[in-house]
Chains A and B, each alone.
Chain A
Amino acid sequence: MLATTMRELDARGIDSFLPDLPGTNESLQSFSAQSLHGWRTAMALAARHFAANRVLALRGGALVFPNTLPGWVLEPVMGATLLRRMLRTRVLASREAGRHEDSATLLAQGREEGIELAGYYLGPALVAGLESARPLDEGQREIRMTELGGSALWLRAEPGEDAAQSVRLAQIVAEEFDA
């Protein structure tokens, strides 16, 4: 979705970049050593490095984006919501495998020693951070899914594409760029 949006922005004369969070994708750092604080610092540094003058944050990105820049947030989500969903996935997967686990115990374990969720090893700092983190938007314009049309792609069980949504997102950004 975002790659298409970025190409659409480029076609409208707007350069954009999508930084990897430390510990993810091509980053050489270990994921288990990450924290929201570290990610916020990294995103602020990236914004400075590329001399960004606008920012667009999506969902959980709103927990770590450089909120000193003007811009947009798309359906921002609380850290606790993300954490709860990941914990629940693990509880259900364990149940399928015949093991009983419950979210509260797993969360306590995560706070103490870290925990593996959705294939990622979350360190205690990241668990604690997510538990209390709220979207950081401060004056950025909040975009809701209804403005893009269709349903949210991050809910899809299988990865999906919706070019019309990506184009609409780029249109909103381009139209409101100097607003």
Chain B
Amino acid sequence: MDNAVSSPDLALREVLDAVLALGTARLAALGTDSPLFGAIPELDSMAIATLFGAIEERFDLFLDDDAISAETLETYGTLLDFVRAQCGC
């Protein structure tokens, strides 16, 4: 959890990889404009709940269900911005 603050980008990539098993190549190709919701078939409600649970654990956060929206998950960049804003890191 300690290195989450030093590199939220890296930490978020690790969490995404743990949930979605993206693999090294897809993970490296992930940019701020890369679409998430609607673009990754594995990202169903169960996976989204797991993803946000894992984000909470990794960044030591407590997120409101209402914060989990299609807008938050639109791209990797919107998700990273959201996580940064939540943890102030």
Least CB separation from B48: chain A residue: A92
Contacts of B32 in A (CB 8 A): none
A85 at the interface (CB under 8 A from B): yes
Q: Are B49 and A157 closer than 8 Å at their CB atoms? A: no
Contacts of A149 in B (CB 8 A): none
Q: Which of B4-12, B39-47, B78-86 contacts A (4 or more CB under 8 A)?
A: B39-47
Looking at chain A's contact residues, the main secondary structure is helix
Q: How far is the CA of A80 from the CA of B51 in the complex (A)?
A: 17
B2 at the interface (CB under 8 A from A): no
Given A84-B53, A88-B53, A91-B65, verify A157-B20 contact (CB < 8 Å). Answer: yes
Least CB separation from A101: chain B residue: B65
- Count of interface residues, chain B, beta-carbon cutoff 8 Å: 22
Q: Are A92 and B54 closer than 8 Å at their CB atoms? A: no
Q: Which of B17, B21, B45 contacts A92 (CB 8 A)?
A: B45
**Interface set, chain A 72-87, CB cutoff 8 A to B:** 81, 84-86
**Interface set, chain B 32-85, CB cutoff 8 A to A:** 42-50, 52-54, 57, 65, 68
Least CB separation from B64: chain A residue: A103
Q: Are A155 and B65 closer than 8 Å at their CB atoms? A: no
Most A C-beta atoms less than 10 A away, residue of B42, B45, B48, B68: B45
Q: Which of A89, A91, A92, A151 contacts B14 (CB 8 A)?
A: A151
Contacts of A84 in B (CB 8 A): 53
Q: Are B47 and A157 closer than 8 Å at their CB atoms? A: yes
Given A81-B53, A103-B65, verify A89-B46 contact (CB < 8 Å). Answer: yes
Contacts of B19 in A (CB 8 A): 155-157
Q: Which of A85, A95, A103, A156 contacts B21 (CB 8 A)?
A: A156
Counting from the closest, the 9 A-B pairs by CB-CB distance are: A151-B18, A157-B47, A92-B45, A89-B49, A157-B42, A93-B45, A88-B49, A155-B18, A85-B53
Q: Which residues of B contact A (CB under 8 A)?
A: 14-15, 17-21, 42-50, 52-54, 57, 65, 68
